[in-house]
Structure 1
Amino acid sequence: MNFDGSAFAGTLAWAGGALAVVLLATFVASKIAGKHSVIDTTWGLLFVTVAIVVFVRSSGHTDPLRRWLLLVLPLLWGLRLAWHIGRRSIGKAEDPRYDQLLAKAKGNPDLYALRSIYLLQGLLAFVIAAPILVGGFEDKPVRVLAWVGVVVWAVGVFFEATGDAQMERFRGDPANKGKVIDVGLWRYTRHPNYFGDACVWWGIFLVAADSLPGVVTVFAPVTMTLLLTKGSGARILERHMSKRDGWTEYAARTSMFFPLPPKKRPSA
């Protein structure tokens, strides 16, 4: 294994600096828009930023095919996600999550927001992007495991994009107001978009993991999966959805995360 540690270390600094610039620009945009939920649109773009930095910096230090995969996969995922969230948030007020968070602020609310929202999301993105950062400097040729990762990534994008589109159509019908979606992929998992998100990052990890030291970045997809299931993803959304009519029955027959056939007889 010929891993260029010096180039890798330099790229960490470049990636961190690039993320800081994007986050500061997002903070300025949030002040103009009057809502910190702008950061939700930027989330996918943080990984696009890291992927571009690694692609530029890794030239001549890695297997060319892996280098392109670690650019294209995060790029397609991140741009789609940013477009979807950005378009969905146009004209909407602040996300209640950020109102609740900033209600805890002591002292300058802007400094609190920078620390508790922007810095935190930047650090999380930096950790989760580890397979891109490390894999970008692996010089061994792409092997079967990496192609398995591409397939897992594709499955994830399908679940995420299809789940988002089905939810958008459901919400667009006034007759569904206040109801729980139970069509399409949502019949098999209560969170097809979150499941897809997790698959995307397990897939990117596998692209890096078919060669050392990429395998040690397994903490990245684990972190993303925990965020989606136990952190700010499904847990908070389900707390909100539990107030809707029909939620108890839906939750009883539908898998929480991994897609499974719905139960015929909901358990008590």
Structure 2
Amino acid sequence: MLVALLAAAGVMGVTAAVSKRQDRVAVVDVAWGSSFVAIAIVLALVWPDGHSWLLALLVTIWGGRLAWHIARRSHGAGEDPRYEKMLGGPGWHAGAAKVVVRVFLTQAVVAFIISAPLQAAAIADVQWWPVVWLGVLVWAVGLFFEVVGDRQLAAYKAKPRESRPKILDTGLWGWTRHPNYFGDACVWWGLWIAGAVSLGWVPGLVTVFAPIAMTFFIRNVTGAKLLEQTMSQREGWSEYADRVPLFFPRPPRR
């Protein structure tokens, strides 16, 4: 547990220094996925076996892609209004102690908590290898929704505003209003299955709070519902929301 916490704290500490230099708190979003990569790799280095390295590979693919995607998307952008609202002011001007505690320390602790299945896998032996591969399958479904959803959104935004539909409602965006967030949740349910459930029922039950917490936050707190506060102001959004579910996908319907 201490190893995982130190890994997350190290990534967030470096990110805080970069953030202070750039005077932009939102760079922490790039470090979110990277913190899990650091945790998984450090655990695999300290307790090396095939299972830990498999999980490290899965986390690195997911977290590395997410960090790269956010860094590219936010390049040249200003401060994220979410952090200004959270801190009660523009970035570091709200006070260094407040920024460190509310943003960087909080995210390090949350990453440490969410990584519980990885921690369990580092110190226990696999009991059911077929369950590991079931978890990999769920992880792959989640990664598919994230990658394809992000690409479809990027292609939509690349079209001239006057010639594109008011709302993106094709592809995966016709199945769920937030395919990338749903994919994120699937990734962590897959890592829980592959990492903790494969060790036995007790490790699975003890760590099930991790994917539940991740799903709750990205659906109800920091992800889907927060984004919809602004998206719902778009023309045609009500009709789109009537047809397409918020989070869990279903086949498109008229």
Q: Which amino acid aligns with 2:123?
A: F
The 5-angstrom pairing of residues 1-268 of structure 1 reads 12-59=1-48, 64-103=49-88, 109-175=95-161, 179-207=166-194, 208-212=196-200, 213-215=202-204, 216-264=206-254
How far off its partner does 1:14 sit? 2.1
Q: Which amino acid aligns with 2:131?
A: L
State how far apart, in whole Å, the 1-side matches of 2:41 and 2:203 are: 18
How far off its partner does 1:233 sit? 0.5
TM score, norm. by length of structure 1: 0.88
| 1:205–1:221 contact (8 Å) kept in structure 2 | yes
Give the length in aligned residue pairs.
248
The answer to which structure has the higher helix fraction is 2
How far off its partner does 1:46 sit? 0.6
Q: Which amino acid aligns with 2:198?
A: D
Q: Which amino acid aligns with 1:184?
A: G
Q: Which amino acid aligns with 1:206?
A: I
TM score, norm. by length of structure 2: 0.93
State how far apart, in whole Å, the 1-side matches of 2:153 and 2:11 are: 29
State how far apart, in whole Å, the 2-side matches of 1:69 and 1:80 are: 17
Aligned residues: CA RMSD = 1.7
Structure 1 runs, 4 residues or longer, greater than 4 Å off? none
State how far apart, in whole Å, the 1-side matches of 2:203 and 2:43 are: 14
Structure 1: 5+ residue stretches without partners: 1-11
How far off its partner does 1:263 sit? 3.5
Report percent identity of matched pairs.
44
| 1:149–1:205 contact (8 Å) kept in structure 2 | yes
How far off its partner does 1:108 sit? 6.1
Q: Which amino acid aligns with 1:144?
A: P
State how far apart, in whole Å, the 2-side matches of 1:201 and 1:25 are: 25
State how far apart, in whole Å, the 2-side matches of 1:162 and 1:123 are: 30
Q: Which amino acid aligns with 1:127?
A: I
State how far apart, in whole Å, the 1-side matches of 2:94 and 2:156 are: 41
| 1:205–1:214 contact (8 Å) kept in structure 2 | no
How far off its partner does 1:141 sit? 4.7
